[in-house]
Chain A
Amino acid sequence: MLKQIFPNVIHIWPQFVQSIWDTIYMTFWSSLIAGLLGLGVGIVLVITQSGGIAEDPYVYSLTDKIVNFLRSIPFIILLAVMFPITNFIVGTTVGTTASLVPLVVGIFPFYARQVQNALLEIDPQVIEAPRSMGSSIPEIIFRIYLREGLPDLIRASIVTVISLIGLTTMAGAIGSGGLGDIAISIGYARFENDVTVAAMLVILIMVFLVQIIGDWLAKKTVHL
């Protein structure tokens, strides 16, 4: 049965399985690195903005401009532009590890904005209460912002990880490996359409799983 619908997938089965792992690898590590980076930058944007707990117009304006600048570069161009930097950091420009550099640079500004929006949802008066109790800035960040904003942060993270899965397939264009790579270099180039369809199906399943797990987590953190 499977042999009839996906003959070419069965033919390259070990390679197909490997590319699933490659996609998971790229998504996982770039989520983690870009997540931490984006979270940090998002927090900086929130606390340094006017009226923030560490108001600083210069830091805010600089961070804001960098985020806007990076967000405005189309990802496919970013991949090419990042080549020398990737080579410098990783020592090579091909493969899954090398693709992490442009993936992180491509997604963290997006996540930073999402974090900023999520944290701005918290009523400023709720932040004023711990200030009146003598909480320090790190205490307010870790005990108030990140906890009160958790449901929204989880939702923002789901959106980001799903976008990131999309970006990993684009990185396939420069030989990163993974499902995008296989869909283009085998499915598209060799007219083996079943490989493209199978790659798409696996990606759909991944997106659904991320969405379901994320929704479940977000629901668990809201206390009504």
Chain B
Amino acid sequence: MAESTSPIIDLHNVSVTFQSNGKSLHAVDQVNLQIQPGDIYGIIGYSGAGKSTLVRTINLLQQPTSGTVTVSGKDLQKLSNPQLRTARKKIGMIFQHFNLLNSRTVLNNVEYPLLSQSISKAKRQAKAKKLLELVGLGEFEKSYPEQLSGGQKQRVAIARALANDPDILVSDEATSALDPKTTNDILKLLKQLNETLGLTIVLITHEMQVIKSVCHHVAVMDQGKIIERGEVAEVFSDPKQPLTQNFVDSSANVTEALDQIKSDSSLQDLSANERLLFLKFRGRATKQSLISDLTELYKLKANILFGNIERIGSTSIGYLIIILSGETKQLADGINFLNQNGVRVRLIATGKKGVKQDVKTNIS
């Protein structure tokens, strides 16, 4: 990850420790994170992983217990209060529950960040109107937030976050309260802002879909630590950590399918020459006709119970759950053949009088 430009966000050894009932909770544990200008950086993890706490250190809404936070070359912890407030104006933030001001109209909400600047009301409102048009809500300026849908509220929040012309936009689960279609629209908007304004976006989510559709880089967080990171396609096409794998699998509905198949009692009565297998194709394996080859070369029959292809960047990951049947010797050879061609094979169940031992050696 050696990049030539200097990072716009540089978290160095950041830890946040909360004390509760005499116990210390390491919400963020020694995290190092560098984000380049113009990047869309996703941080994914389940709730409680410390993502929110981590991104809140970027504008010091959360003071780190230790470590340094450098944004746009400035060490934020060394700034005075007024200097920190000025620095915060260049870091926009949007939230899961929008956090709009219900007592103000949509236009006044967008205007709010500009109130502390010494510009005329006319100029202020003109800018707010322009921002509302940018997010596609030009005609809603006189409405109140309560009259808008979730997606519209988030657009207002985005317009408000852009009012101070920030360099960075931090998105804290901004699409988690929205339906899938609205989520897509908001993500498209973020992508567009990244491309047109050169906005650096830091986005936290628990949804793999969100990361896949907009992020360039991703960090996977668990128990306060970043356990895996890199380019989105790289990390998700070849996950090193079980948690990362978990995100990929559940995104492709594999976890669900496996559970269903395992609990299906009719599949428990496999005959001796049947194997219930879970196959994962990656890289070149996705471009070959391996299943047909099994039939041709080893006289094996494949009954497909589930199949899906997950596209991540330019790579695809294929999932198949099949019942493979044929001669015992052929079965072992067939599984070996799959293994040699880069398919990861997992045996889920075997026929009652099955020769598990034979097969086992070939299974990774």
Give the chain A neighbours of B97 by CB distance below 8 A: 123, 125
Give the chain A neighbours of B89 by CB distance below 8 A: 133-134
Interface residues of B in 64-85 (CB under 8 A from A): 82, 84-85
Of B32-40, B108-116, B184-192, B308-316, the stretch lying at the interface with chain A is: B108-116
A128 to B95: give the CA distance in the assembly, Å. 10
Decide if A207 is an interface residue (CB 8 Å cutoff): no
Give the chain A neighbours of B101 by CB distance below 8 A: 126, 144, 147-148
Query: Given B103, B116, B164, which contacts A223 in the complex, CB threshold below 8 Å?
Result: B103
Instruction: Write the chain B residue with the least CB distance to A146.
Output: B103
A131 to B93: give the CA distance in the assembly, Å. 10
Decide if B99 is an interface residue (CB 8 Å cutoff): yes
A132 to B90: give the CA distance in the assembly, Å. 10
Chain A-chain B contacts (Cβ-Cβ < 8 Å), number: 73
Decide if B88 is an interface residue (CB 8 Å cutoff): yes
A133 to B115: give the CA distance in the assembly, Å. 11
Give the chain B neighbours of A123 by CB distance below 8 A: 97, 99
A208 to B291: give the CA distance in the assembly, Å. 84
Query: Given A132, A143, A223, which contacts B102 in the complex, CB threshold below 8 Å?
Result: A223
B99 touching A143 by the CB < 8 A rule? no
Query: Given A125, A135, A147, A224, which contacts B99 in the complex, CB threshold below 8 Å?
Result: A125
Instruction: Write the chain A residue with the least CB distance to B115.
Output: A143
Judged by DSSP, the binding face of B is: mixed
A106 to B103: give the CA distance in the assembly, Å. 32
Give the chain B neighbours of A143 by CB distance below 8 A: 112, 115
A125 to B163: give the CA distance in the assembly, Å. 19
A 117-153 to B, binary, CB cutoff 8 A, 1 in contact else 0: 0000001011011111111100100011001101000
Instruction: Write the chain B residue with the least CB distance to A124.
Output: B99
**CB contact under 8 A between A128 and B103, given known A133-B164, A223-B144:** no
A221 to B101: give the CA distance in the assembly, Å. 13
Query: Given A134, A150, A223, A224, which contacts B85 in the complex, CB threshold below 8 Å?
Result: A134
A136 touching B116 by the CB < 8 A rule? yes
Interface residues on A, range: 20 to 34
Decide if B293 is an interface residue (CB 8 Å cutoff): no
Give the chain A neighbours of B144 by CB distance below 8 A: 223-224
A221 to B82: give the CA distance in the assembly, Å. 32
Give the chain B neighbours of A135 by CB distance below 8 A: 85, 113, 116
Give the chain A neighbours of B102 by CB distance below 8 A: 148, 223
Instruction: Write the chain A residue with the least CB distance to B146.
Output: A224
B104 touching A133 by the CB < 8 A rule? no
B115 touching A132 by the CB < 8 A rule? no
A148 to B99: give the CA distance in the assembly, Å. 12
Decide if B86 is an interface residue (CB 8 Å cutoff): yes
Give the chain B neighbours of A125 by CB distance below 8 A: 95, 97, 99
B59 touching A132 by the CB < 8 A rule? yes
Give the chain B neighbours of A139 by CB distance below 8 A: 115-116
A136 to B89: give the CA distance in the assembly, Å. 11
Query: Given A130, A131, A223, which contacts B112 in the complex, CB threshold below 8 Å?
Result: A130
Give the chain A neighbours of B99 by CB distance below 8 A: 123, 125-126, 128-129
* Shortest CB distance B129–A (Å): 19
A136 to B80: give the CA distance in the assembly, Å. 12
Query: Given B103, B105, B164, which contacts A134 in the complex, CB threshold below 8 Å?
Result: B164
A134 to B115: give the CA distance in the assembly, Å. 11
Give the chain A neighbours of B84 by CB distance below 8 A: 134
Give the chain B neighbours of A134 by CB distance below 8 A: 84-89, 113, 116, 164
Decide if B226 is an interface residue (CB 8 Å cutoff): no
A143 to B113: give the CA distance in the assembly, Å. 11
* Shortest CB distance A143–B (Å): 7
* Shortest CB distance B27–A (Å): 15
Give the chain B neighbours of A133 by CB distance below 8 A: 88-89, 92-93, 112-113, 160-161, 163-164
Could you list 16 further interchain pairs (A-B, Cβ under 8 angstroms) beyond the known A143-B112, A221-B103? Answer: A125-B97, A126-B100, A128-B99, A129-B95, A129-B157, A130-B112, A131-B88, A132-B88, A133-B160, A133-B161, A134-B84, A134-B85, A134-B86, A136-B82, A139-B116, A144-B101
The 10 closest A-B pairs by CB, nearest first: A134-B88, A223-B144, A134-B85, A129-B99, A132-B93, A134-B89, A133-B113, A147-B103, A126-B99, A125-B99
